Amino acid sequence: MKNSIVMFAILFGSSAFAGDLQKITGSESSMTFEDLRAACLNPSQFHNQVAPSNIQISCNDVQFKWISDDVGALSMANGRYIKASLVSDKYTVDTVGATVDISPQVVACPNYRQVSETLETVRSISCDEIVAFVGSATDFCVGAINSMKAINPESIVVLDTGETLSLCGPTPTGTRNTFEFDSSN
């Protein structure tokens, strides 16, 4: 019975210590980039004798962009106004005006579709590089991804999201198809 109690205490104490160690070392992904930098500079603060090694940083960038798609067509109302006035040697007829139907004008209008551009890279990085780098993990990834895009543009995976945007909306309102005129002209 006494051995069972001792064994229980050892097991319970070990598991509690392991939980505390995980909190201290961040071995369960709870470590930040700054924590890793600190662990590189002072491993003893993280219950280690040597700095971390075989460090890899994974950077994933997804950008959503609109690109031109097939050109659409938009029908726009047109207007026509005719004025007529008659003058003779004996009479002057008042000027009259009337709206005359005219065919609508079809114009090109842009359509767009959305794509996602994804780039992922995994880089090996040393403690020296982490310590020397000024900025966050995000800042590091921005630089790594921009560098990769410049060196290897084919590494970007482009996928259609299925989203579309058409600027070929309804017939514009406020189109002037009747005209005001000054009867004194």
Is the pLDDT at 36 greater than 60? The verdict is: yes
Question: For residues 137 and 78, what is the distance between their CA atoms, to the nearest angstrom?
Answer: 58
Question: For residues 102 and 110, what is the distance between their CA atoms, to the nearest angstrom?
Answer: 25
Share of the chain above pLDDT 90, in %: 55
Per-residue pLDDT, 75: 87
Mean pLDDT to the nearest integer, 128-135: 94
Mean pLDDT to the nearest integer, 52-80: 92
Give domain limits for the chain: 31-166
Residue identified by tokens 């031109």 is: 68
Residues 6 or more apart whose Cβ sits within 8 Å of residue 82: 97, 98, 100
- In the predicted model, what is the mean pLDDT of the chain? 80
Helix (H, G, I), strand (E, B) or coil at 137: helix
Is the pLDDT at 14 greater than 50? The verdict is: no
Per-residue pLDDT tens over the stretch 141-185: 999 999 999 999 999 999 999 999 998 876 555 444 444 444 444
Per-residue pLDDT, 173: 52
Lowest mean pLDDT: which of 16-20, 94-98, 146-150, 169-173?
16-20
Is the pLDDT at 120 greater than 50? The verdict is: yes
Residue 31: pLDDT band (50, 70, 90) is confident
Question: For residues 85 and 157, what is the distance between their CA atoms, to the nearest angstrom?
Answer: 68
Mean pLDDT to the nearest integer, 28-55: 84
Tokens of 39: 């662990």
